[in-house]
Structure 1
């Protein structure tokens, strides 16, 4: 199963999130949400529907970086270790 990382380099949380992914040897397909409107729409569709973003939206945050893998979405870097077996 391929993980998708929604991110933008403009977000200060992206670099440490990516560093943690590398440390844990978690592979992913990068999707820069600011690259074009298609990638932004792809992210917004996930964000609007997935419950992992409820707290993020309630706190008026964007929700990136976000790792989408299967039915799971991780927005908290500390939860990444749950993917390592």
Structure 2
């Protein structure tokens, strides 16, 4: 099962959740605005993973973020869903 970091305040996160559900992809949703612990977990990923390099440099947040495995993370949720069809 994948993990998705996001927030219900983010239109892309809402769209990603809906698309994952519509395509029958099981996921665990981690709302980064729900608790300080969730935010810290996400920020650790964002600040250390290469996948977020352009995000950090551009001042963006980097959500939704899908953690596919301990070694695989993607910010391209649409591409991930397309690859599972």
For structure 1, which runs of at least 5 residues remain unmatched after alignment?
none
Q: Residues 45-83 of structure 1: CA distance to partner in whole angstroms, max 9, x if unpaired?
A: 11111111112122210001111011111212332123x
The SS at the match of 1:13 is helix
User: Structure 1 segments of 4 or more deviating over 6 A?
Assistant: none
Give, in whole Å, the separation in 2 of the partners of 1:78 and 1:13: 10
How many residue pairs get aligned? The number is 83
Alignment of 1:1-85 (within 5 A): 2-70=1-69, 71-80=71-80, 81-82=82-83, 84=84
| RMSD of aligned Cα (Å) | 1.4
- TM normalised by structure 2 equals 0.85
List alignment gaps of at least 5 residues for structure 2.
Answer: none
